[in-house]
Amino acid sequence: MIEVLHARKFPLSELVLLASERSAGKSMNTAFGEKQVEAFSVERAQSCDFVLMAVSGGFSTEFSPQITANGKTVVIDNSSAFRYHEDVPLVVPEINRSAMEGKLLIANPNCTTAIAAMALWPLHKSFKLKKIIVSTYQAASGAGAQGMTELEEGTRLALDGKEHPNEVFAHPLPFNVIPHIDSFQSNGYTKEEMKVVWETQKIFDDKTLACSCTAVRIPTKRAHSEAITIETEEDVTPEAAIEVLKSAPGVEVVDSPSEKVYPMPLTSTKKYDVEVGRIRRSLIFAPKGLDLFVSGDQLLRGAALNAVLIAEAKLE
């Protein structure tokens, strides 16, 4: 978040770093120079115009409403605490920035949802989406620094022929894929999969939009990828979809299979735009359907960048 604020020249006069008592007093080298971490308090947070939250859902549930109670501080919450509250906007600025007008508490979407939404919204506007089927390929860093460490250390152990225990993931991740992210729900889907359903419908403001997802953890470090099938109300061709996507903000069309050019975690990592490619007629839904593949940096488009874009939109 700090790197994005600096890179996008966000017009801040002061950067304040708040954390738990355990971290208070530590110095951090940032793009804005060396900063000292302060202990969190509601009063200190309220002294800021914007509070970018990278905290647990429980922390946000307790403190976000207290911070915004002053009637002026904007809280942009990266947790899932308020995403499904009717009166809290869930925002991807390129899609539904108007939803946060007059609101001080704004929810940042799940990273998987945000990446898919960037590609799907322009197609929805032009061809009216009817059904969406998503299969995700999610990097280890989606589970935090601990997830990356477990993948790296486990891979070394596996290459040496040693057992590699798993604590972060449901099973060892090296040389494996795990179709299990978050807890299973009563309908057989995981919570991660249902987040994509609930959040897409809320961001697009369309509860009739049918959506299904299978979320899979894969042994890559960073950037999530998704295979997406859509059925549309209107006839759609790959050529028409590419024209629409080329003019869409936050999207990069990466689609030249004959030259081995398509979206990948290696190329989408550290990139602001979501890569979209492998755009082709759906063999099931054509002429009213497409298959496509997207890849996006879940730490940027799926979290930090989206939070800063929300702050920029609120400033405007």
> Any catalytic annotation for residue 224?
yes
In the set 48, 85, 111, 124, the catalytic residue is 111
Q: What angle, rounded to 10 degrees, do the helices at 238-246 and 111-127 form?
A: 110
SS3 for 140-178, per residue?
HHHHCHHHHHHHHHHHHHHHCCCCCCCCCCCCCCCCCCE
In the set 124, 164, 211, 224, the catalytic residue is 224
Strand 105-107 with 129-138, pairing: unpaired
> Any catalytic annotation for residue 111?
yes
Query: DSSP strand E in the chain: where?
Result: 18-19, 27-30, 33-36, 38-39, 50-53, 74-77, 105-107, 129-138, 210-217, 224-232, 251-253, 274-281, 289-296
Active site residues: 111, 224
